[in-house]
Amino acid sequence: MLFSSCNKDESIIENEFETSPEGLKFDFSFYENHKGNLLELNIFENKINGNKSKLTSRLELNNTILKEINNQLGTKLDFSTDFKQLNLDSHENIVEWSYKSGTLTKVDIEILNDFNKNLNILQLSDAINILEEDVHTAHLNPMKVEKFQYLANVVKLLEYEGPGIFTSSLQQKNHRKSCLSASAGLAFASAALVAACNPPALGATVGWGCYLAGANFVRASIEVGKACGD
């Protein structure tokens, strides 16, 4: 996957997570520092509406969204072409892409399947508690644990910006094709983007802008994506 690292002058957050024989607890300072700071969706809507005649494919749409995010945040985030061609509201094609590209392993996908299911039937805090247990039980390496920790932070950011975004009952109750809440694959899309924020070398850290840009990309792409319908 193509990834251009974030600006060198960006602040770096060194994430720490607590581990013990009893379990693992994620650090949510990233969420606390950035909640309420995701970009306004009308920025993307206006951008897309003004270029409808030029945006003839999902790739062009997502490139436009990503360019706007990078401009707004001062980041240099990019993803592989095949990822940007995906409809982020499809659980199946995100899983297939993640596995084939090596972004996620079978163990990762099992953990995410459980997390995705729990997001739709449990309170977010309970779903995250189970995610922590699953990650701890899987005995993943510290770098992979950090990826799941950032995923939990990104999901909390998305939930903060759109309460009920993962709840199936809310999907049925509200807009028939609400782009913000109708994505069964949203957790997987978030995971793919979090996994894409790879440091250039083992042991290196990644700027917070990468993860913030990823959260904005998932939210904006689903909101204005053609797969969401009119």
Q: In sequence order, which residues have a C-beta less than 8 Å from that of residue 180 and are 6 or more positions away?
A: 41, 162, 165, 219, 222, 223
At 89 the pLDDT is 64
The Cα–Cα gap between 79 and 63 comes to: 9
For residue 27, the model assigns a pLDDT of 93
Residue-level pLDDT, tens digit, the chain, 230 residues: 222 333 333 333 344 566 655 678 999 999 999 998 899 888 887 777 766 666 778 888 888 888 888 888 887 777 888 888 877 766 777 888 888 888 888 999 899 889 888 887 888 999 999 999 999 999 998 888 988 998 899 899 988 988 877 764 444 444 434 443 344 466 677 777 776 666 554 444 456 777 888 888 888 877 765 444 44
Nearest CA-CA partner of 111 in 136, 87, 93, 83: 136
Determine the Cα–Cα distance for residues 102 and 35; give it in Å rounded to an integer. 30
Two structure tokens written together for 220: 């904006």
Please name which of 213, 216, 218, 150 lies closest in space to residue 185, comparing C-alpha atoms.
Answer: 218
Contact between 212 and 37 under an 8 Å Cβ cutoff? The reply is: yes
Task: Report the predicted TM-score, pTM, of the whole model to 2 decimal places.
Answer: 0.77
Count Cβ neighbours within 10 Å for each residue of 52-87 and write b for 16 or more, e otherwise.
eeebeebeebbbbbbebbbeebebbbbbeeebbebb
| Dist. CA 153–CA 27, nearest whole Å | 8
